[in-house]
Structure 1
Amino acid sequence: MEKNRLEAFSDGVMAVIITIMVLELKVPHGEDLPALAQLWPIAMSYVLSFIYIGIYWNNHHHLLQASHRVTGAILWWNLHLLFWLSLLPFSTGWMGENHFARWPTVLYGVNLLACACAWFILETGLVRHHGPGSLLAQAIGRDTKGKASPLLYLLGIAAAWAGYPRIGLAFFAGVALLWLVPDRRVERLIAARDKGSGDVR
């Protein structure tokens, strides 16, 4: 089946997730800067999760750019990813409202780990569907960042669980920074394919 509906639906869900998160930013009771400063944990949590949603949206777009068609199983794997992403507003809000306390930070890390595992399942399913010699398989390659991310999440969860939630949060932010570095593999391969086929889109 065609991938267009899957891509459009996923874009819509991620947009709604961001909207829900920003609605959780409450106006402070006060007109001075100290009143605004009290909201910094909530604002910081929102920024981090916004970056994560942006990373997933960007990579999801690239993943489907290198794909041709999807199966019913892939639709479910994609929904599995969206399920865990849809829980980010809850885990983000709980962590921010409680100023990065131990268990809210642990839950946030578990949420991020679940998103990463769901992404791996979706990515693996698409590669298997298109074949080991496909453009998608070439673009993903060894996927070093994708394999390192769950390990870093686990270290962050362990640090937060041991009573050092700020260190755990540093691990989570570090993974986001790792993925903020632009990955041009898919773009380069698609450009080379289109040039070779005479596609001028």
Structure 2
Amino acid sequence: MGKGRLEAFSDGVLAIIITIMVLELKVPHGDNLAVLRPLIPVFLSYVLSFVFLGIYWNNHHHLLQAIRHVNGRILWANLHLLFWLSLIPFVTGWMGENHFAALPVALYGVVLLFAAVAYFILSLTLISHHGKDSTLATALGKDLKAKASLVLYAVAIPLAFANAWLACVLYIIVAFIWLIPDLRIEKILSQ
């Protein structure tokens, strides 16, 4: 079956997730900058999550550009990814409202870890369906970025209980690793 519905559905779900997150930003009462100060943690957690969702949207788009069609296993793998991404507004809000306390930061990392695992599973499912010699398999290679991300999340989660801010730094490092779209896929597709 074609991939168009999968792309459209995924784009719609990600748009809704971002909309939910922005609607959780409450407008303060007052007309001076002092009323914004308590909202800084909430805003920072929103920015971090918005960046992560943007990264997933961008890289998901690249994944799907490298394939021709989908099957039922791919649809379920994609839903698995969307499930974990749909939890981002909840953990974002909890982390921001609690000023980056240990447990919310750790749970944020758990959601990011499982989203990364789901993305990795989706990639493997796509490669399995299209073959080890496919454009996508060639482009991803050993996928060291994905594996490094999983390790950083696994380290950050328990670290949150010792130093939540350091755990957040590891989440930011993962975001920086992925900020540049997956050029491997672009390079292969342009050839």
Distance, in Å, in 2 between the alignment partners of 1:186 and 1:121 is 17
Q: Provide the rounded CA distance (Å) in 2 between the counterparts of 1:183 and 1:9.
A: 21
Partner of 2:95: 95
TM-score, normalising length from structure 2? 0.98
RMSD of aligned Cα (Å): 0.8
Structure 1 segments of 4 or more deviating over 3 A?
A: none
Encode CA deviations 1:119-151: one digit per residue, 9 max, x unaligned: 011000000110011111011111111000011
**Contact 2:43–2:96 (CA<8 Å) still a contact in 1?**
yes
1:33-182 residue pairs with structure 2 within 5 A? 33-161=33-161, 163-182=162-181
8 Å contact kept, 2:62–2:182: no
**Residue number in structure 2 paired with 1:15:** 15
Secondary structure of the structure 2 residue equivalent to 1:103? helix
The amino acid of 2:141's aligned partner reads G
Offset at residue 64 of structure 1 (A): 0.4
The TM-score normalised by the length of structure 1 is 0.93
Structure 2 CA distance for aligned equivalents of residues 114 and 96 of structure 1:
20
Q: Alpha-carbon deviation of 1:187? A: 1.3
Q: Which residues of structure 2 form unaligned runs of 5+?
A: none
CA–CA distance in 2 between the matches of 1:183 and 1:77? 20
- C-alpha distance in 2 between matches for 1:77 and 1:85: 13
Q: Which amino acid aligns with 1:37?
A: R
Deviations 1:75-132 (A, max 9, x none): 0110000000000000000000000001111100000001000001100000011001
Counting matched residue pairs gives 191
Shift of 1:185: 1.4
8 Å CA contact 2:127–2:137 kept in 1: the answer is: yes
Q: Quick one: distance in 1 between partners of 2:113 and 2:78?
A: 16
Q: Partner amino acid for 1:160?
A: A
Letter aligned with residue 4 of structure 1: G
Equivalents in 1 of 2:40, 2:5: separation in Å? 38
Give the distance between the partners of 2:180 and 2:37, measured in 1 at CA.
30
Please list every run of 5 or more consecutive structure 1 residues that lacks an aligned counterpart in the other structure: 193-201
Query: Over alpha carbons, which structure has the higher Rg?
Result: 1
